Amino acid sequence: MTDADTAVVYVTGHGVRSGSGRHYLMLPDTPHGHHLARGYPTADLIAAALASHARHVLVIVNSCFAGELDAELAQLRKDLPAERRHASLTVLTTADFDEMPRASEFTVVLGETHRFLTERAGYTAPLLSIDEFVRELEAACRRLADAGTSVLQIRHVLQEGDRAEPTLCLPNPGYRPPPPTLVGKSRRQLAAPTRELDYWLDRASGRISATDPGWYFTGRGELTTQLARFLTYGTGMLVITGAAGTGKSAIIARAVTLSDPDFLANPHYADAVASADPDTVPPPGSVDLAVLARNKTTEEITEQLLTAAGVTPAHTADVGGRTATLRHQVLDQFEPGRPITIVIDGLDEAVAPAHTATDLIGPLLRHRRVRLIVGVRSSAPGQPGSAAEAGLLDLLRRFGTALTPLRTDGADAIHDITDYLLTRLPGQDRLAHLIATAVAPSFLDARFAVRRLLDNQPPAEAELDKPKGLEELD
């Protein structure tokens, strides 16, 4: 391999650890207990990849007791040429030194990770970093553990190079090149970058895949009307909150998208604009900057606000005060006295939500001309929630400004979900009501159910009376 190559090596098979602390792969004809003579030293295989000329190397070892490699690779690392330590070299294992993953367990985890990255994660760059990939693998492990499907844990046993930098080993399955004409030049300086706008468009439309050109957002009349009113003459901060999957991002994205004059003028979406109730459409240009906080630090969120405004973030020697410098730079982009509307979605999924609230949101709200729309997850009323969720909402209430809360998981959710389902399953009134009742208040689960149904034949009316009529949607 040359320095222009990228290497992704997946190692799997039965593994054993020896009394000397080495890890061996058992070959098909390796007799039990004869791994020294008839097995293959796993570290030797990994070393061959690490010592190659490839500038980006990712090795994943899915084998029993693979965590034993931690100590082995710590020694082998000392033998790497100095220049290799500037390459991006990563080794992950799916088991610790005393663990035995089940057959196909990592396959399930990897599939769940790919699904989430494709459909929900919100990463907009074409490549992922090792940090992002490991974080999503670990999140998939937690989701599957909660469902009783997996107990796998990912181990990071070797790293050279910056794990926070994008790597050619990890193309982002959720990346979509943006439509080039969605935002006109006159608006581009105050609209999100095109790839970010594609994120808002994806959520706003209710589509279930990137290739679906439809616009299926419907219902939520009261919520979208209140949001449009806030963008017309509101002040302070509007917090859109609700349980996971209840459509917070969709409601916010609809407002971001429908407030863009160039989107409104785009003939491709003329029907979507024409079908919207005028009371639910915000004034053109009423959103200045919109960013997604998910997986970002406070500094990164502030930098993205500047990028969305078409400005290069300032460099400063004062690392500790850089966020304040960038914050002032954001405000300086607008004429004195001119109102500024900023949207920050996914606050609870930021790297440090409380820090973002105190170091960015609170200080911005001290300026009377700034108003904010913030999307943050919280447990449904009457349901136990985490202390972090409650603490974040309480923190937002302490900023001494007018705070208007809008919940997306209210009693009208079943009706709104039914309306959405009928746009995708016309004429299937009873089926739509049954699904809505089963999944409410989760619009996300309704979208998944629709996708399953559209991929197959929807059940006949008679099938709905059978005890297992909807089990295939689970």
The DSSP string of 362-422 is HHHHTSTTEEEEEEEE-PPTTS---HHHHHHHHHHHTTSS-EEEEESSSTTHHHHHHHHHH
Residues 6+ apart with CB under 8 A from 251: 220, 223, 224, 227, 240, 406, 408
CATH superfamily of 185-407: P-loop containing nucleotide triphosphate hydrolases (3.40.50.300)
Confidence of residue 227 (pLDDT cuts 50, 70, 90): very high
Between 194 and 384, the more confident residue is: 384
Angle at 241 between CA 240 and CA 244, to 5 degrees: 135
Confidence of residue 204 (pLDDT cuts 50, 70, 90): low
Q: At what angle do helices 194-205 and 248-258 cross, to 10 degrees?
A: 120
Q: How far apart are CA 280 and CA 322, in angstroms?
A: 38
**CA atoms 297, 298, 303, 308: torsion sign:** positive
The region of weakest confidence among 19-23, 235-239, 383-387, 431-435 is 383-387
Q: Which residue has the tokens 């960015």?
A: 360
Q: How far apart are CA 240 and CA 7, in angstroms?
A: 43
The pLDDT, as a whole number, for residue 196 is 47
Confidence of residue 205 (pLDDT cuts 50, 70, 90): low
- Average pLDDT of span 44-50: 92
Angle at 137 between CA 72 and CA 169, to 5 degrees: 70
The pLDDT, as a whole number, for residue 195 is 46
Domain boundaries along the sequence of the chain: 6-171, 185-407, 412-472
pLDDT in tens, 279-305: 989 999 999 999 889 889 999 999 988
Tell me the average pLDDT of the chain: 81
Encoding tokens for residue 49?
């990849």
pLDDT in tens, 153-192: 889 999 998 888 899 999 999 887 655 544 433 334 334 3
- Average pLDDT of span 271-278: 81
Q: How far apart are CA 242 and CA 379, in angstroms?
A: 6
pTM: 0.59
The pLDDT, as a whole number, for residue 190 is 33
Side chain identity at residue 428, one-letter code: Q
**Farthest CA pair distance, the chain:** 80
pLDDT in tens, 398-430: 886 778 888 988 878 888 888 888 878 888 888
Helix (H) or strand (E) run with residue 167 in it:
strand 166-171
Separation in Å, CA 27 to CA 35, 37, 39, 97, 125: 9, 11, 6, 20, 40
